[in-house]
Amino acid sequence: MNSVSHVVLVVDDDQIMLRGVEAMLRRGGYCPIVASSPLLALRDAREFQGEIHLLLTDIVMPEMDGIELAEQLAAERPAIRVLLMTAYTDGTYLLPLLRKPFRMEELLKIVRDVIDGPPFAIAV
């Protein structure tokens, strides 16, 4: 499947990071939807009529963390894939993780790999 048809919801409270990732994804042929907070991301996802293929979210944010956001979105959109990003070096995560800072090539490769992989499974 061509990446042009893939929609990526990008969530980060850092505006510079948010706009940078948006630009990289556009250059890579993706269709990014950007939100500067988890609550805005939930609103945007609920308003968006098409499929959202990937949630690319920072972990540490006000309101709720990226993992809680992923759980809420996955409950509403079971086919969504999730990719976490963080500047923090500690912590172990069960989801795919992209460490900040990253290069465009790294971002596009892991986005492609995660979209091609299985959906996010909510632990019961």
Q: Which position has the higher pLDDT, 95 or 108? A: 108
β-bridge pairing 81-86 and 97-99 = parallel
User: Which pLDDT tens digit goes with each residue over 11-55?
Assistant: 999 999 999 999 999 999 999 999 999 999 999 999 999 999 999
* 78 within domain boundaries: yes
In a domain, 124, yes or no: no
**Does residue 63 lie in a domain region?**
yes
| Residue 110 counted as domain residue | yes
Task: Report the CATH number at residue 62.
Answer: 3.40.50.2300
Q: Report the pLDDT value the prediction gives residue 123, as an integer from 0 to 100.
A: 55
**Whether pTM exceeds 0.85:** yes
pLDDT tier for residue 122 given thresholds of 50, 70 and 90: low
Based on the structure, what is the number of domains in the chain? 1
* Any domain includes 51: yes
CB 32 within 8 A of CB 10: yes
Query: pLDDT tens, 52-90?
Result: 999 999 999 988 999 999 999 999 999 999 999 999 877
